[in-house]
Amino acid sequence: MDNEALLISGADIPFVEAQLIIKQPTYKEVSLIGEKSLFNGTRLLTFTKKMLNEQDKTGLEDKTDFDIIMSIMCSTEKIEQKNEVTLLLSLLFPTYKIQYTNSDIVLVNENGIISRINNLNYEVFKDILSSMFCLNETFGEKEYNPVGRRAEKIAAKLEAAKQKKLKHSGNGDQTTKVAIYSQYISILAVGEQKDMNELTGYTIYQLNDEFKRYQKKYAFDMNMKARLAGATDLDDVDNWME
């Protein structure tokens, strides 16, 4: 998704291919489900076979990424992953009831009108999610433990990818609390002298954008202070307004 103006504004995002409007939830709304469910839900919904090596792709040649996701979502043995995805979808589509079939995520509004996310529009949905939640910038892979031999292999790959790890999430323990954006809010509240209540009204994209900009300004200001104090041999830093 390349509409940065729409993302930075926090406005709802048209998902034309499914005749839906996607709400960009604020952090305050995300707090209703927790950051763990946000991370796990988005990572499962944006799973790709590209994570797998050639051996683990064997037998999946005729399966799309969405097919694999739905096989996990329709599992009857474990429901934690399904619940986390459902919680996330409830934030993105707050006026819809969420249902699942083997081939569709079915959304039913209060008037009984049905919309579907399926193989025909999934790639667009995935692109919107990745942009909204800055997945390529801040999110690591989390543990899913889906059911079934093939799904278990996929889970193992996601677990291995987790070794990249979220740099702000602690010591790597599986029980580590996921609190990246609450930490962003705390830092920005002090660093920019802003009210936390104002910051919790930001979307995830807005929080991520402002935090990155604050990091650049902090590095720039510290570099300038060191130079004015006579420090030499300092690395150049980018102008924080670029």
55: its two tokens = 């051996």
23: its two tokens = 């709400």
Q: What pLDDT tens digit does each residue of the chain (242 aa) get?
A: 889 999 999 999 999 999 999 999 999 999 999 999 999 999 899 988 877 777 767 777 888 999 989 988 988 776 888 999 999 999 999 999 999 999 999 999 999 999 999 999 999 999 999 999 999 864 443 333 333 444 445 544 544 554 454 444 544 444 556 789 999 999 999 999 999 999 999 999 999 999 999 999 998 898 888 889 988 888 888 889 98
- Give residue 37's identity as a one-letter amino acid code: S
Contact 146, 72 (CB under 8 A): yes
- Report if pTM > 0.75: yes
Looking at residue 149, its pLDDT comes to 47
Q: What size, in residues, is the chain? A: 242
Looking at residue 35, its pLDDT comes to 94
Domain boundaries, the chain: 4-169
Looking at residue 182, its pLDDT comes to 95
Looking at residue 78, its pLDDT comes to 64
C-alpha 86/C-alpha 84 separation (Å) is 5
Give the DSSP letter of residue 26.
Answer: B
Count of alpha carbons within 13 angstroms of residue 191, beta-carbon side: 18
C-alpha 172/C-alpha 136 separation (Å) is 19
HEC-encoded secondary structure of 55-74: CCCCCCCCCCHHHHHHHHHC
Count of alpha carbons within 13 angstroms of residue 96, beta-carbon side: 25
Looking at residue 109, its pLDDT comes to 96
Considering only CA atoms, give the Rg of the chain: 20
Looking at residue 179, its pLDDT comes to 85
Looking at residue 176, its pLDDT comes to 55
SS3 at position 150 = helix
Write phi, then psi, for 78 (nearest 5 degrees): -130, 135
C-alpha 195/C-alpha 186 separation (Å) is 10
Looking at residue 53, its pLDDT comes to 72
Looking at residue 142, its pLDDT comes to 37
The H or E element that residue 146 is part of is none
